[in-house]
Amino acid sequence: MSHAADETPASLDLTSSRAMARMRFDLTWQCPRARHQDSLVATKLNLWRDLFPPGLDARVMGQPRGHRIEQRFAPGELVEPWREAACVRLHRHQFNAAGGGPTDLQPRLGRFYPKTLFDGLPTAVQGKPHPPRLVDVRADSLQADCNHPLAEQQLQLAVTIESIWAHGEERGGRCTDVADLVTANGPGMQARWRTLATDFWSDQPFTRRDARPDPMFYQAPRLVDHLDRAAIAEISALYGRLIPPGARILDLMASWHSHLPDALTADRVVGLGLNQAELDANPRLTDRVVQDLNAAPELPFPDGVFDAIVCTVSVEYLIDPRAIFREAARVLRPGGCLVITFSNRWFPTKAIRIWEALHEFERPGLVLEYFIDSGRYRDLQTWSLRGLPRPPDDPYADRLAAADPVYAVWGLRI
């Protein structure tokens, strides 16, 4: 919900106990393979009531709307430090012992699984809000790391005060722990465990419920947006930051909307998609190609002809994504950017099997592995954004307060 209409004058700051604020938190961290940023917009925060990370509250207090600060945290400062005791050795039969998952579910290295699938986890780790991660898988035993996935990371947290307003009389209310708010429910899960590659490749991960040729499913044009306006605007802004003016752009798995910002000038925008009517309705395209990448993954373009490739809310439908990522690298010039964006909405019958099985924050990790597997990209990055207010005229505004989350993974052609 936006508070723009009832904002008090810019002179109001957070020294008042009646001051409420909307703040954006940008959490950045680095792992050996990629740089990560997880962003969260939090509304209705109050410095007199809510718990801020050590040192951060004093730096925010008294600051006006628009102020931004940054603070670094050593491993174990913002989240609980890593503990050897939270890395638990189990017998193989203790996984899925109660049949909480599919009967054919097998434990895979690096993957996160609900605590309900483990029999005999110590009481101390059962109450943790994050799922355990398998870090050793043997014929007769498993090891589950129940530490926070960011426990070993040095973190940087940037805070931007987006809005301040005065609330009325407040009776009671819940105290928010900002550190938990920013780091809970996924951040850290998109990275490998230390240097071990996550096993995303077992168990026929690229099969789908609906195995019919994709052109049959997409025969009728779907001239609708698959995300709300707030999420679309963020994706558009991301493309604007990453793609240089005058670029030659390939919109991969394109539809009637390329999500490129209006201000971005392009030398050429080629749309490759499944439905001619959708491509014809896209005003940003200079060229249109109808092709089923799941039937023919070879891209019909010469080497190095594009400066940027974007793929919006479609990567989850690729049954041979590693081939597509290699082909994308081939048609990109050196230094050209491949940007993959997605959310938590898709056509269930057409999404690959593993996509549905993964935690929401493991999916950027899967896409990151596509980049790594090709061996043809550098400067890899992931980004997530959650908590944006949903537009008030959105069809789901009466049921969902937050906009659709946005996830992105990108890299530069070597």
Mean pLDDT for the chain overall: 92
Phi and psi dihedrals of 348, rounded to 5?
-60, -40
CB 39 within 8 A of CB 383: yes
pLDDT in tens, 313-330: 999 999 999 999 999 999
Whether the predicted pLDDT of 3 surpasses 80: no
d(CA 259, CA 25): 25
The pLDDT of 334-349, averaged and rounded, is 95
d(CA 231, CA 243): 18
Q: What is the pLDDT of residue 5?
A: 40
Phi and psi dihedrals of 182, rounded to 5?
-75, -35
pLDDT in tens, 68-119: 999 999 999 999 999 999 999 999 999 987 677 777 899 999 999 999 899 9
Whether the predicted pLDDT of 7 surpasses 60: no
Whether the predicted pLDDT of 127 surpasses 80: no
| Torsion on CA atoms 86, 176, 2, 9, rounded to nearest 10 | -130
| Torsion on CA atoms 212, 215, 221, 222, rounded to nearest 10 | 50
- Residue holding tokens 């049954």? 319
CB 306 within 8 A of CB 250: yes
pLDDT in tens, 354-377: 999 999 999 999 999 999 999 999
d(CA 84, CA 144): 11
Helix, strand and coil percent figures for the chain, each rounded to 5: 20, 30, 50
- State the pTM of this model: 0.94
The pLDDT of 112-136, averaged and rounded, is 88
Q: What is the pLDDT of residue 2?
A: 42
pLDDT in tens, 189-242: 999 999 999 999 999 999 999 999 998 888 888 777 889 999 999 999 999 999
CA angle 36, 42, 46 (to 5 degrees): 130
Tokens of 336: 């050209």
Q: How far is C-alpha 124 from the geometric centre of its chain's CA atoms? A: 29
12 — pLDDT class (breaks 50, 70, 90) = low
d(CA 160, CA 182): 13
CB 8 within 8 A of CB 165: yes
Q: How far is C-alpha 264 from the geometric centre of its chain's CA atoms? A: 24
Q: What is the pLDDT of residue 83?
A: 94
Q: What is the pLDDT of residue 47?
A: 86
Name all domains of the chain by residue range, CATH numbers in brackets.
4-79+153-183 (3.10.50.30), 84-145 (no CATH), 214-413 (3.40.50.150)
Q: Which H/E stretch holds residue 186?
A: none
Q: What is the pLDDT of residue 126?
A: 75
172 — pLDDT class (breaks 50, 70, 90) = low
Q: What is the pLDDT of residue 52?
A: 92
CB 385 within 8 A of CB 341: no
